[in-house]
């Protein structure tokens, strides 16, 4: 170990010793002084205040700050030796039992009443009492006046606030705290990357003070200032990355695709059987203006389920076709790609049948390219795409394969953007000789802070109105365990709707027997609950039981593509009464005659997913009904979530609720990027104002210094906080 000054790049083995450094590296992926200094405490314990033993949950890994109240030794019944029971208390009035097995007289002498300590372990329960079995611990203070000595030790730890770190069994929080103290004793902070003008205008402390105070806060105020500064660094790095991307994209050349009077788009508008909503018209004007510029459009189109995004996208595609280009729509599944193909052909009518009998004067061809296309049909489609005959091309990721060449790709429309990787979109963009215009669509409303942080390099358009003719959807929770009769009534509702000439969906969270798929969760969750209900098991039970005599179809992701398409066609044509499916029907599927949906094990789905699913009903003139079946007990968070979904059809309210209930990493895509998130403190839920301010400063700075050439320390900091893989993820947003 060395006493020489250390920097962010100094290896930990030089500072804390080989053995400890190895444990930090293998269990927590911490290798350098910088890694450790940026390994921030998860929370802070304050004696008698923050450590509330009464709030501990069974099964939770905890570290508590508490005082030994009494000890007792008794012989064990089942085996030889004694059991040491130590009762500890905190300022909340809660008590916790620590149990140690074996003859450990030294431990009894050490854990004497009055001693304060940090105790870490997994909370269990025995005869109604919460306890930690064989916990790791570190005692605070020695000497006659235990509390005074404890106070000195606490001061040594971190003033009055004791940091509790994200830890591992082999590296408990106090080992991390000790290592941090050693590192900070010799640590030289890097040059402050934040421009002095920004620090001054936003009243932010320097980086050295922030890094020291977050680990060893001298007061709550100092800790608040440290956390605010470090959150700012994270928000600023993300926003600079996104604003730079937006700035660079705006400088790329693109072929302008201006509207053409008297062309295909005007002919389409003239034959539309209904009037566009004011929102559709406004967004259409924004997109038309973007397409007419010499720089590529990058626009996010978000809107409620059924708000008419597809018509808006189709009008944009027709404008590009009028201007001599081609448009490609990328859908996440073959079912949805085929649905788009049928829907667009229906909307276009004679305008989509160039070269066929009865085609209109300003017609184009609409081609569908999927992995299941037959060889002859594929050759014909590819020839028409390469020759420019097909103005509109629809497909799945099969569009990305080599051999699919465009004559002049002018617009890429990506439906349900979150389901595609950056590489896939880049592959499609690379098929154009100049960057094409890009329109991204999502039916999952996005809270403002998420839009700013995840979609921040895209211009955003929002459709909030539903077109005329869309019917209301009523949603109800069906508590199957508490009131089985309610579930019986749900099946009767399906029979009533079918008798009235309508159709129904039954959605399950799992496919069933066979290998697991991306569509389904693991069969048993951490709480040991039964496996989620599966399509292949539920469908025959319904056919033999409550839905006997009805025409039932099955749809899920493991079916061959032609079977999936055949089932969907049958359902759309009214040849099936009930479709038992997984979430493969979540987006885009449009069967106006379907009026009721029953979601089984609804608590296994997310808020946005449930909102998307119920958007499949009520798409015609008859009202829609969505029944959320659950065994979750009243008062549980799962039940409250379902009650919230049932209480409103406002997707934007539900998106905010979804954000409240999801972990930050899920929102920012830490799991998708496959790497540890470098955004450790920033919360999209709590830091909306800070994110907004950081974006404003980022826009100002990038306008003055686009590549941060005059701010090298800041550029390096951004690169460290938002690595390239994460930056690519953010590009989606």
Instruction: Tell me the three-class secondary structure of 412-473, residue by residue.
Output: EEEECHHHCCHHHHHHHHCCCCCCCEEEEEECCCCCHHHHHHHCCCCEEEEECCCCCCCCCE
Summarize the confidence of residues 204-228 as an average pLDDT: 94
For the chain, what are the domain ranges? 43-164, 220-252+676-731, 264-463, 473-648
Under the banding of pLDDT at 50, 70 and 90, the label for residue 520 is: very low
Mean of the per-residue pLDDT values for the chain? Answer: 83
Cβ atoms of 477 and 628 closer than 8 Å: yes
SS (H, E, C) 125-192: EECCEEEEECCEEEEECCCCCHHHHHHHHHHHHHCECEEECCCECCECHHHHHHHHHHHHHHECCCCC
| Least confident stretch, 157-161, 324-328, 656-660, 667-671 | 667-671
CA distance 393 to 378: 12
> CB neighbours of 180 closer than 8 A, spacing ≥ 6?
36, 37, 39, 163, 215, 216
Higher pLDDT, 407 or 252: 407
CATH fold match for the domains 43-164 and 473-648: no
Secondary element (H or E) of residue 365: strand 365-369
Assess if CATH 1.10.3720.10 describes domain 473-648: no
What are the pLDDT digits (tens) for 651-689? 777 877 777 666 444 444 432 233 344 568 888 778 888
- If you compute the radius of gyration of the chain from its CA atoms, what whole number of angstroms results? 30
Q: What is the pLDDT of residue 677?
A: 44
Domain at 43-164: CATH code: 2.40.50.140
pLDDT at residue 141 in the model: 62
Q: What is the pLDDT of residue 73?
A: 86
Using DSSP's 3-state secondary structure scheme, residue 103 falls into coil
* Share above pLDDT 70 across residues of the chain, in percent, rounded to a whole number: 85
Q: Are 331 and 359 in contact (CB under 8 A)?
A: no
CATH class of 264-463: alpha beta
- Between the CA of residue 500 and those of 250, 362, 416, 591, 597, what are the distances in Å? 54, 42, 33, 16, 15
DSSP 3-state of 79: coil
Global pTM reads 0.66
Task: Tell me: pLDDT of 33 over 80.
Answer: yes
Helices and strands per DSSP (H, E), number in the chain: 27, 21
Tell me the pLDDT band of 521, cut-offs 50, 70 and 90.
very low
DSSP at 575: -
């Amino acid at each position: 170990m060395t006493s020489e000054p250390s920097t962010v790049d100094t290896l930990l083995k030089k500072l804390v010793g080989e053995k400890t450094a190895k444990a930090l590296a293998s269990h927590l992926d911490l290798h350098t002084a910088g890694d450790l200094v940026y390994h921030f405490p998860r929370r802070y314990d304050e004696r008698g205040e923050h450590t509330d033993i009464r709030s501990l949950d069974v099964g939770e890994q905890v570290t508590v700050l508490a005082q030994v109240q009494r000890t007792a030794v008794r012989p064990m019944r089942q085996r030889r030796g004694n059991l040491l029971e130590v009762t500890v208390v905190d300022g909340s009035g809660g008590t916790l039992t620590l149990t140690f097995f074996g003859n450990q007289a030294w431990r009894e002498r050490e854990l004497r009443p009055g001693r304060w300590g940090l105790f870490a372990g997994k909370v269990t329960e025995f005869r109604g009492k919460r306890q930690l079995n064989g916990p790791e611990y570190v005692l605070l203070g020695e000497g006659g006046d235990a509390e005074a000595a404890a106070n000195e030790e606490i001061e040594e730890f971190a003033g009055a606030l004791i940091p509790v770190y994200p830890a591992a069994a082999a590296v408990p929080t106090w080992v991390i705290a000790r290592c941090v103290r050693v590192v900070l004793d010799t640590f030289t902070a890097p040059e402050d990357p934040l421009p002095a003008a920004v620090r001054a205008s936003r009243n932010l402390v320097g980086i050295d003070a922030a890094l020291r105070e977050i680990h060893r806060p001298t007061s709550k105020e100092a800790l608040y200032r440290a956390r605010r500064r470090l959150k700012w660094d994270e928000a600023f790095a993300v926003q600079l990355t996104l604003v730079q991307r937006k700035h660079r994209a705006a400088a790329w050349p693109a072929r302008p695709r201006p509207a053409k009077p008297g062309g295909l788009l005007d002919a389409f508008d003239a034959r539309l059987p209904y009037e566009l909503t004011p929102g559709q018209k406004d967004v259409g004007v924004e997109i038309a203006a973007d397409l007419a510029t010499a720089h590529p459009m990058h626009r996010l189109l978000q809107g409620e389920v059924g708000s008419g995004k597809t018509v808006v996208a189709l009008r944009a595609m027709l404008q590009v076709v009028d201007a001599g280009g081609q448009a490609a729509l990328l859908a996440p599944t073959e079912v949805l790609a085929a649905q788009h193909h049928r829907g667009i052909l229906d909307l276009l009518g004679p305008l989509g049948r160039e070269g066929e009998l009865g085609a209109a004067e300003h017609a184009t061809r609409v081609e569908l390219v999927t992995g299941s296309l037959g060889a002859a049909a594929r050759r014909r489609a590819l020839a028409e795409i390469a020759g420019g005959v097909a103005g509109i091309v629809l497909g799945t990721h099969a569009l990305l394969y080599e051999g699919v060449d465009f004559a002049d790709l002018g617009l890429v429309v990506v439906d349900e953007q979150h389901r595609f990787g950056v590489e896939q979109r880049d592959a499609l963009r690379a098929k154009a000789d100049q960057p094409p215009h890009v329109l991204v669509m999502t039916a999952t409303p996005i809270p403002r802070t998420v839009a700013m942080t995840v979609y921040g390099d895209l211009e955003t358009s929002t459709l909030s109105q539903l077109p005329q003719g869309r019917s209301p959807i009523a949603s109800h929770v069906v508590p199957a365990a508490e009131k089985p009769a309610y579930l019986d009534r749900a099946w009767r509702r399906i029979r009533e709707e079918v008798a009235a000439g309508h159709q129904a969906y039954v959605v399950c969270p799992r496919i069933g027997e066979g290998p697991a798929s991306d569509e389904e969760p693991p069969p048993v969750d951490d709480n040991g609950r039964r496996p989620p209900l599966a399509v292949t098991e539920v469908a025959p039970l319904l056919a033999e039981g409550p839905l006997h005599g009805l025409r039932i179809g099955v749809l899920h992701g493991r079916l061959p593509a032609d079977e999936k398409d055949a089932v969907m066609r049958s359902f759309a044509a009214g040849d099936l009464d009930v479709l038992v499916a997984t979430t493969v029907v979540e987006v885009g599927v449009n069967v106006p005659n379907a009026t009721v949906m029953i979601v089984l094990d609804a608590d296994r789905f997310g808020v946005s997913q449930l909102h998307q699913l119920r958007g499949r009903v009520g798409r015609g003139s008859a009202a829609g009904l969505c029944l959320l079946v659950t065994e979750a007990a009243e008062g549980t968070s799962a039940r409250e979530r379902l009650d919230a979904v049932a209480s409103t059809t406002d997707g934007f309210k539900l998106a905010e609720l979804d954000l409240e209930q999801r972990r930050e990493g899920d929102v920012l895509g830490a799991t998708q990027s496959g790497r540890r998130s470098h955004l450790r403190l920033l919360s999209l839920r709590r830091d909306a104002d800070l994110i907004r301010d950081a974006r404003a400063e980022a826009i100002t700075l990038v306008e003055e210094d686009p590549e941060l050439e005059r701010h090298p320390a800041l550029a390096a900091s951004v690169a460290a906080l938002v690595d390239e893989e994460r930056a690519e993820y953010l590009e989606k947003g």
